[in-house]
Structure 1
Amino acid sequence: MRAVEFHEYGGPEVLRVVRTATPEPGPGQVTVEAVWAGVNFADVKARAEGYRVASLPYRPGLEVSGRIRAVGEGVAGLRAGQEVIALVDGGGYAEVVLAEAARVSPLPEGLDLRTAAALPTVLPTAHALVHEVGRLRAGESVLVHGAAGGIGTAVGQLARAAGAGAVYGVASSDAKADYALKHGYDEVFRPGAFETDVRRATSGSGVDLVLDPVGGDTLRRGLEALAVFGRLVSFGNAGGAAPWRAGQDELYAQGRSVAGFSVLGLAQSAPEALRALAERALRTVRDGVVILPVTAEFSLSEAADAHRLIGGRTSTGKLLLRITD
C-alpha cells in the first residue's frame, strides 16, 4: 500500500510517499481502507519538531474516514465493508489505517465520508471546549483564539447555539477575520492586542470564557482578559513557547480558573468518555447546528502542499487529503 512518512524532522519536503506492507488488525483493532484523511496543525508540529512522535520513521494523520477492511479478535459492533470514521494517534496518511476499535465509529446517518473526515478531532474538541470543560452558559461571553481554523469554526457555531451573549475571536489577518465573522463570531481581534480589545468590547468587564490553543504568553494575556469568575481552557501550545504557569496571584483574587483538554489524551485515558463525547458532538452536525467547511483538498502525494498551506498560517476551515476515489 501507499503511505506518507517522514524519516527526519524538517520542512514539508521531508514528507515522502512510500510503499509498505498492509497492516493487519490485532485484538481490539480494525483496519480501515481510507478514503479521506484530515490534515491538522498537530501533523505539522510532528513533522517539524517531533510533537508526539515516539520514533522515526513516522506516519502523520489523526483522523480518517473510509470502509473497514478487516476486524480483529474481540471487536463487536463493527464489520468489514462498514463505512466509518476513526481517530488515530498517527498513521492516517495511508491507504490502509490501523485503528483501535474503541476510537472507530460507524458513519453517522446523513453524513458523507468527505465531510466526516473533518470531524474526529475537531468536533469532539470543539464540543468539549464549549460544553464539558468550558461549561458555557447562556448569556455568557467567549473569546476564541484561532477563530478561523477548524476548531474555531466549530466553536463559533456551538457557542452561538448554546446562547452565548457574545462570541469574540482572534485571527491573524483580514481574510481570516472575514471568514470567522461568517461562522458565528460577533467581532474578531488581532493577536497583538486582543486583551485590550476585549476590555473595550465588554466595557471593561472581560469575557467569561477564553479558549486558548496557543499557550505561553498568550495564555497569560488571556487570563488578563477574563471577567470575575472567568474560566480559561488551554487546549494546545501552538506557539511553541515554554509553558506558562498560573498560580494564586493570577487566580485567587477574582475567582478565575484554568482547565485543559486534549482529545488524544482523553482517547488514551478514558476511551468510553471520548466515545460518548463524540456521539454528542456528531449529533450537532447531523442536526445542522454545525457546518464545518472543507476549504482545501489534496491527493495523498500532495501532502507536502497541504502542510505548506496549514503551516503558513493562512488556511481557514478544514484541509483534507483524498486517499482514494
Structure 2
Amino acid sequence: MRAIQITEFGGPEVLRQVELPEPVPGPGQLLVEVSSAGVNYADTHLVENSYLSKATLPLVPGAEVVGRTAGGRRVVALTDNGGYAERAVVEEYLAHDVPEGVTDGQALALVVQGLTAWHLLRTSARIAEGESVVVHAAAGGTGSLAVQLAKEFGAGRVIATASSKEKRDLALELGADVAIEADATDAAGLKERLVEANGGRKVDIVLEMTGGPVFDASLAALAPFGRLVTYGLASRVPPAPVHAAQLMGRSRAVVGFWLMHCLGRPGMYREPMAELLAMTAEGRLKPQEGGGYPLSEVARAHEDLRARRTYGKLTLDPAG
C-alpha cells in the first residue's frame, strides 16, 4: 500500500512516499480503508521529534483517519500514528461512526481539534456563563471550533486573534464578538489590545497555543480568577517562566492540556465526540474544511501549515 514514511527527523522534506505491507489488525482493532487523513500542527512537531512524546523511527505519521471498515461502517478514529496511508489500523474503542450529512473533512476536524476545543473550554477552563474568552489562532482548526463552542457554552464575549484580515473576518463570521491582530513581536501592545477588546476589562479565559510573547501577553491580560489554558507551542519559542507569586498575586491559573490524557478516561472521548458530531449534523457547529492535498504532496501541506498560509482543517487524499 502507499504510505508516507519518515526514516529521519527533520522538516517537511523528510516526508517520503513509499510502498509498505498492509497493516494487520489485532484483537480489539479495526482495519480502515482510509478515504481521508487529517493533518495537525502536532504532526509538524512529530516529524522533527519535538513533540510531547518522543517518536521512534521508521514512522508513518498521521493521528486521525476517516474511512470504511471491512464490515462497511464509516468511521472516524484516532490512530497511534499510521494515518498517512491507504489503510490504517485503529483501536475499536477510538472509532466513532460518522452520521449522514457529516463530511469526511468535518469528521476529521472534530476528532482531534474539536475534542481539544471542547476540553479546553469545558474541562480545563471550566467556562462559566457570561465569561470572556480569548481564542488565539481563531481561524485555525482548533481555534475556529473554539470560537463557536465558546458561544454555544455561554461565553459573554469572544475575542479572536488572527494574523490576517481574511482570518479575522472568518472568526467574526463564526461568532466572535471582536477580532484583533496577534502581533507576537509586541507583547505589551497585545496585552493592551486584549484588554481594550474586552471593553477595558481584563479577560477571564485565554486559549493559547503559540508560546513565547503571546503566552506572556495573555497571562498579563488575565483578570483575577482568570485561566490561561496552554495547548501548543506553534512559535517554537518557550514563554518566560511562570512563578507562583505571579499566580497568587492575581489569583490566576495556568492550565496545560494534551488530548492524549483524555483517552481511556470515562466520559472524556466518546461522549463529547458524539455531542460534537450531533451538533455538526444539526448545523449548529460548522467545522471549517481548509485545504485538501494529495498524499503525494504531504510535504507541501506541512510547509503551508508551518507558514500560517492555511485555515481550518487540512486533509490528505490517499488516492492522490
Report the TM-score, using the length of structure 2 for normalisation: 0.91
Match of 2:156 in 1: 165
* Partner AA of 2:44 in structure 1: V
- 2:214 matched residue in structure 1: 218
Distance (whole Å) between structure 2 residues aligned to residue 53 and residue 324 of structure 1:
30
Alignment of 1:268-279 (within 5 A): 270=265, 273-279=268-274
Is 1:14 the counterpart of 2:14? The answer is yes
Aligned to 2:186: none
Alignment of 1:131-280 (within 5 A): 131-192=122-183, 193-242=189-238, 244-267=240-263, 270=265, 273-280=268-275
Answer yes or no: is 1:95 the counterpart of 2:90.
no
Distance verdict in 2 for CA 1:254–1:185, change over 3 Å: same
Distance 2:237 2:178 in 1: 27
Match of 1:73 in 2: none
Question: Is this contact kept in 2: 1:158–1:289, CA < 8 A?
Answer: no
Aligned partners of 1:228, 1:98: CA distance in 2, in Å?
Answer: 46
> Could you list the runs of 4 or more consecutive aligned residues of structure 1 that deviate by over 6 angstroms after TM superposition?
none
Q: Give the Cα separation in 2 of the matches to 1:105 and 1:200.
A: 42
Cα offset, 1:217, TM superposition: 3.8
Q: How many residue pairs align between the two structures? A: 314
State whether residues 179 and 316 of structure 1, in contact with CA within 8 Å, keep that contact through their aligned partners in structure 2.
no
Name 1:294's counterpart in structure 2.
289
Superposition deviation, residue 26 in structure 1: 1.1
Match for residue 111 of structure 1? Answer: 102
Secondary structure of the residue that 1:115 maps to in structure 2? Answer: helix
Shift of 1:48: 3.1
Deviation, 1:250, is 1.5
Alignment of 1:63-82 (within 5 A): 63-69=64-70, 80-82=71-73
Q: How far apart in 2 are the matches of 1:185 and 1:135?
A: 19
Distance 1:97 1:308 in 2: 24
Q: Does 1:45 align with 2:45?
A: yes
Counterpart of 2:280 in structure 1: which amino acid? V
3-state DSSP of counterpart to 1:253: helix
Q: Which of 255, 274, 279 is matched with 1:284 structurally?
A: 279
Give the Å deviation of 1:61.
Answer: 1.0
Describe the superposition over 1:293-319 as per-residue Cα deviations: whole angstroms up to 9, x where unpaired.
212111111111211211111211111
What are the Cα deviations for residues 106-147 of structure 1, in whole angstroms up to 9, with x where unaligned? 113432334322221011111111222222222211101111
Unaligned runs of 5+ in 2: 184-188
| Contact persistence 1:103–1:271 (CA under 8 A) | no
RMSD: 1.9
Structure 1 spans left out of the alignment, 5+ residues? 70-79
| Alignment partner of 1:129 is 2:129 | no
Partner of 1:83: 74
Q: Distance in 2 between matches of 1:252 and 1:129?
A: 22
Q: Which amino acid aligns with 1:152?
A: G
Note if contact 2:102-2:277 (Cα within 8 Å) is conserved in structure 1: no
Equivalent-residue separation in structure 2 for 1:132 and 1:265 (angstroms) = 12
Change (3 A) 1:271 1:241: farther
Q: Quote the offset at 1:213 in angstroms.
A: 1.1
1:91–1:247 CA distance, 2 compared to 1 (3 A): same
User: Secondary structure, in 3 states, of the residue corresponding to 2:275?
Assistant: helix
**Which among 87, 106, 111 is matched to residue 120 of structure 1?**
111
Q: For the Cα contact (< 8 Å) 1:134–1:209, is it kept in 2? A: yes
